Structure 1
Amino acid sequence: MTQTRGAVEFRNVQKRFGQFTAIPDLSMTIQPGELVTLLGPSGCGKTTTLRMLAGLESPTQGQILLGGQDVTRLPADRRDVAMVFQSYALFPHMSVIQNVAYGLEASGLKPGPARERAEKTLSLVGLDGLAERLPAELSGGQQQRVAVARALVLEPQVLLLDEPLSNLDARLRRKVRTEIRDLQQRLGFTAVYVTHDQEEALAVSDRIVVMKDGVVAQMGSPRDLYEAPESEFIADFIGEANIISGRILSVGGAEARVDIGGSVITLPARGLGEGPARLAMRSNAARVRNDGPGVTGTVASSAYLGDHVEYEIDGALGRIFVVDDESDSPLPVGAPVTLELRPRGLALIPEAQ
């Protein structure tokens, strides 16, 4: 199967609905062969952005380019894109092979060649032997793969995925997201993926675009967003960090010595100078100890979850959420603890100063 590749570019795109401005001014580029996820809370503009790229909504102003071609005013059926919907949107009265071949036949390809291409695409997504089944005879994950196959068989420049896993249970979501990512990397197609699930975005993306109120709050690799958030919003939204206060004692080159609740840690300075600072603290950034040096606190709540213990700790940093994967049994509520901080999982937030 030959897969085309296309770059996607938004140039100063604005979208208004009456007096409401959903997208004030969006400019970004998605490179050929890249999987970029649009992530954000409800109402942030991610689905509107996807729908404008698909041709289901028209920008109020600005340009959208696909593979170098201005498609801003082209209707959906004249854009070289294909979409996988949240609801799958399979034809219930058609077999799997008929569903996958439908778009090819509707575009004028004869039934024989259309079926041949559909069979090859079903093989790509691991659905050999299921061609004659009806959608109702498939599991949720299999139905999702039929929906992906139906889009891929058209060999679009860009595959659009709108909350594609939201109808699946947690275990199946992990499996199918891995399959989608493996397929995208193997075939090298460009993909734009919309989700509100942070873990899903971290797992499948080359880059993540976090949106807030219709603007790009931060765009970068999953690791960049998780380990180097540029704002408290990003730190809290990607991975649910504790937002804590500290003080930068000194800066030498690219590193800063930071006092955090009495413990001094060396961290990337991120352009900040001496003085008060805000930090993102991931739940695994501290080891929970009965005693010894560290940030003092008291157990406010604890929960044993098999391979780890979750704590809420009251102390010098306020109330924070900590995960301890080294303990066999949880400490009781009210127990005094010290938190041994480790640099991995701690980051200064540039926007905070």
Structure 2
Amino acid sequence: MTTHSNGSVVFDNVRKQFGTFTAIHGLSLHIEPGTLVTLLGPSGCGKTTTLRMLAGLEHPTSGRILIGGKDVTMLPANERDVSMVFQSYALFPHMSVLENVVYGLESSKMNKNEARSRAEDGLKQVGLAGYGQRLPAELSGGQQQRVAVARALVLEPQVLLLDEPLSNLDARLRRRVRTEIRELQQRLGFTAVYVTHDQEEALAVSDRIVVMQDGAVAQQGSPRELYEAPASSFIADFIGEANVVPCEVLRSDGGQAIIRVARLEHSVPGRSARPGPAKIAVRPNAITLDAAEAAAFPGSIRHAAYLGDHVEYEVETEAGTLFVVDPAVDRNLTPATNVSIGFHPRGIAIIDN
């Protein structure tokens, strides 16, 4: 089983309206062949509408969509070189696993023997060789998911579309199946567009993440870029939790900015930071808590929750309430304990808004 190599995707100033409501505002996006790009965002942000337009299930109000360099903007779904893995898997319960995978091939008028051979190869590729005669009900949720992926991939699409593919699985199985999907995508080299609202899932599977907000791209980049250098408080809080704290940028020095929060001065990445009032996004695990010192950034424990391998604290400070994740489970900082707050070198970024 091979996939087309030229599976690039281009959205060129795409706009989508439903009556007077604008769901997508002038979306421009380029997805490189052989990459897995995730559309991430809260409910109603436009990610599913974007995927449906790529699949041909919706048509843009204006703008163009190109797949492999071909303009497919107004082509129906069955004339686009894409396959979709749905949230519900959409397997036929009365058909065997092999029959489910063969179905799409036979619908495309392929010879029965060739279709069966390709379907068996597809099941082998997703680690389900020997499962062909079972019914979907005899498989686990993760195995059903892999059947749905195999059924889509045997059609050799330029682009594989995955719509919330893990939402029906429990948390532990979700972790395992997302790893399997990522390994499969990297091994076979197909282009994938993946929709989810789960930030951890997006970080785990993506070459690039496109975060959407109100029908537009809020920020895009690698998982590390979005986590370590969020452009806004929305991104900082959506891609992992963050404390948004007011600060003063004192000066920039060799790609680093020196900031002051309350009485604490700290160095953070900030080549283009300008002196003056600003905000920083501080990850909960980037905050240290020590015995109170008069000259440092003071705080008082408001709430503590022991969670086995870490303790979560809410700390009252003059910069607001901070959420802190502390790996030091052996100590017991109880409510009303005064502490001195510090910052780790990593996990802090200056944000625009």
Q: TM-score, normalised by structure 2?
A: 0.97
Match of 2:321 in 1: 319
Separation in 1, partners of 2:108, 2:216: 36
Partner of 2:20: 19
Per the TM alignment, residue 316 of structure 1 is displaced from its structure 2 partner at its CA by: 2.5
Q: Distance in 1 between matches of 2:311 and 2:296?
A: 19
Residues 282-313 of structure 1: CA deviation (Å, up to 9, x unaligned): 01111222345742111111111111111111
Residue 144 of structure 1 aligns with an amino acid whose one-letter code is: Q
Give me the whole-angstrom Cα distance separating, in 2, the residues matched to 1:167 and 1:182: 20
Separation (CA, whole Å) in 2 of partners of 1:303 and 1:38: 33
Contact kept, 8 Å, 1:303 with 1:330, in 2: the verdict is no
RMSD of aligned Cα (Å): 1.1
- For 1:222 and 1:270, how far apart are their aligned partners in 2? 21
Contact map agreement 1:309 1:330 (CA 8 A) in 2 = no
Deviation at 1:74, TM superposition (A): 0.7
Alignment check: 8 A CA contact 1:41 1:212 kept: yes
Unpaired segments of 5 or more residues in structure 1?
Answer: none
Q: Aligned partners of 1:276, 1:303: CA distance in 2, in Å?
A: 33
| Inter-partner Cα distance in structure 2 for 1:327 and 1:101 | 54
The percent of aligned pairs where both chains have the same amino acid is 65
Alignment length (residue pairs)? 351
Give the structure 2 partner of residue 217 of structure 1: 218
Return the alpha-carbon distance in structure 2 between the equivalents of residues 12 and 233 of structure 1.
23
Distance in 2 separating the partners of 1:330 and 1:105: 65
User: Does 2:299 match 1:300?
Assistant: no
Counterpart residue type for residue 343 of structure 1: P
Q: Hey, what's the Cα distance between the residues in 1 that align with 2:261 and 2:338?
A: 18
How big is each residue's C-alpha offset from its partner over 1:137-195, in whole Å with a ceiling of 9 and x where there is no partner?
A: 11111111111111011110000000000000000000000000000001100000000
Q: For 2:126, give the aligned amino acid.
A: V
Q: Which amino acid aligns with 2:166?
A: L
| Shift in Å, 1:270 | 4.3
Maintained 8 Å contact 1:270/1:348: no
- For the residue of structure 1 that corresponds to 2:209, the secondary structure is strand
Maintained 8 Å contact 2:252/2:271: no
Alignment pair present for 1:263 and 2:286 = no
* Distance in 2 between residues matched to 1:166 and 1:290, nearest whole Å: 43
Mapping 1:165-176, distance limit 5 Å: 165-176=166-177
Q: Which residue of 2 aligns with 1:4?
A: 4
CA-CA distance at 1:267 after TM superposition: 1.3
Task: Give the distance between the partners of 2:173 and 2:332, measured in 1 at CA.
Answer: 30
2:189 equivalent in structure 1: 188
Is 1:61 aligned with 2:73?
Answer: no
Q: Which amino acid aligns with 2:2?
A: T
Judge conservation of contact 2:46–2:212 (CA < 8 Å) in 1: yes
The within-5 A match list for 1:239-250 is 239-250=240-251
- CA offset at residue 257 of structure 1? 0.8
Aligned partners of 1:180 and 1:106: how far apart in 2?
Answer: 25
CA distance in 2, matches of 1:192, 1:270: 33
Rounded Cα–Cα distance in structure 1 between residues aligned with 2:296 and 2:187: 47
Contact 1:304 1:329 in 2 (8 A): no
**Alpha-carbon shift at residue 335 of structure 1 (Å):** 1.1
Distance 2:308 2:322 in 1: 21
Please list, as runs of the form range in 1=range in 2, the aligned pairs for 1:189-208 lying within 5 A after superposition.
189-208=190-209
Give the unaligned 5+ runs of structure 2: none
- Residue 29 of structure 2 is matched in structure 1 by 28
For 2:254 and 2:144, locate their aligned partners in 1 and report how far apart those are by CA, in whole Å. Answer: 54
Matches within 5 A, 1:31-110: 31-110=32-111
Any idea what the Cα deviations from partners look like across 1:213-236, whole Å, max 9, x if unmatched? 100000100111111011111111
Q: 1:11·1:62 contact (CA, 8 Å) conserved in 2? A: yes
- Give the counterpart letter for 1:108 in structure 2: K
Looking at structure 2, the residues matched to 141 and 110 of structure 1 have their Cα atoms a distance apart, in angstroms, of: 30
Contact 2:57–2:77 (CA under 8 A) maintained in structure 1: yes
Query: After TM superposition, what 4+ stretches of structure 1 lie above 2 angstroms from structure 2?
Result: 290-295
Q: Hey, what's the Cα distance between the residues in 2 that align with 1:82 and 1:294?
A: 57
Q: Specify whether residues 277 and 81 from structure 1 end up closer, same or farther in structure 2 by C-alpha distance, changes over 3 A only.
A: same
Deviation string 1:324-353 (CA, Å, 9 cap, x unpaired) is 01232441111111122112011101x23x
Say if 1:304 and 1:330, in contact at 8 Å, map to a contact too: no
**Residue among 331, 334, 337 paired with 2:333:** 331
**Contact kept in structure 2, 1:159 and 1:190, CA below 8 Å:** yes
Change (3 A) 1:207 1:306: same
